[in-house]
Amino acid sequence: MRSFKLQQHLVLFCIFFIAASSCKKSSTPAEEKKPVVVTERFNINATLVTPSPSFEANKLYQFLKENYGKQVLSGVMTLNSFDETKWLKDNTGKEPAIIGLDFMHCNRNYNWYDNKAPIKDAKAYWLRNGIPVFVWHWRDPSRKTEEFYTDKTTFDISKINDLESAEYKAMIADIDYISGLLKELQADKVPVIWRPLHEAAGGWFWWGAKGAAACKKLYQVMYDRMVNHHKLNNLIWVWTREPNDDAWYPGDQYVDIIGRDIYKQGDHGSQVAEFTALNALYGSKKMVAISECGSMPDVANLTKDAAAWSWFMPWYGDFTRNSAHNSLDLWKKMFASSYVITLDEMPSLKN
């Protein structure tokens, strides 16, 4: 009888174990080789560059730091309120941990646009434990055009050095307006991963049209204006690296995280060469992320190559939905992986 009962107990235990295991995310054989843990690979800065950061900003940064090299956060860029997060939810049953938002249409007096829309979206996603990342396709501050591309506006960023110039005053006015929006999030205890002046060294945006010195100065002026003048302490500052842009880098005291925008259609490799180079360039002290991408890296390649990107974020539209860039099967694979953090797996980082 004891033997029979023991067999019964073993059978019940096996059934319970199998059932419990089936509720967890799967790990494919290709994912079994996990990257070496963060403490053995990196020496990430312990604190944010902002003095006395908000509780939530610090908690978010520590969360990113603790997971760096252990897991990757999923993200997606949006154009209209939750368009891509909803599409992913409808088609995969999951949503990404990070939502990408843009101040592109703000402060332009467009009668068709609600300037508070991105702020509302950021707060709503944060309340669900998601992470808002903001970029700013900054339209011509002079208002002579509605453009941000270098070949469509003659706005002169070099005037950032002339405090009496109309251009300087226009840039400061725009920074002040965006700071006001970010203050609303600060008041609501919402931290923001803030990625201004992205892809500057590429030269295709006006903020990169006059070379490294002017752009570097604008980034530093923006930091000073937002942090010291407006007392914003809920921001995590990201510099978006371009190849060979050492002279453009604002400085370690202005940057928390390094981003890299990678557009290689159909390439789902880990981009480990870029990761390794960036990690070395910044002395293993700055986390690095795929701040934008066309085709996202396959999780099997990320784990195989130990490419410890903090997050990945495909752009909206076809980059998210078209299989030429990212197939639905790949999205499902990513979201099912134990290495990829989705919205439903995010802890509350609130006070």
Query: What's at 233, amino acid-wise?
Result: N
Run of H or E residues at 135: strand 131-135
Q: 199 catalytic, yes or no?
A: yes
Q: How many CA atoms lie within 13 A of 278 on its CB side?
A: 26
User: Looking at 31, 56, 84, 199, which residue is catalytic?
Assistant: 199
Q: How far apart are CA 89 and CA 220, in angstroms?
A: 39
Buried b (16+ CB within 10 A) or exposed e, 196-212: bbbbbbebebbbbbbee
CB atoms near residue 193 (< 10 Å) = 27
Q: How far apart are CA 212 and CA 160, in angstroms?
A: 12
Structure tokens at 49: 């560059």
Q: How far apart are CA 348 and CA 33, in angstroms?
A: 29
Q: Which residues are catalytic?
A: 199, 292
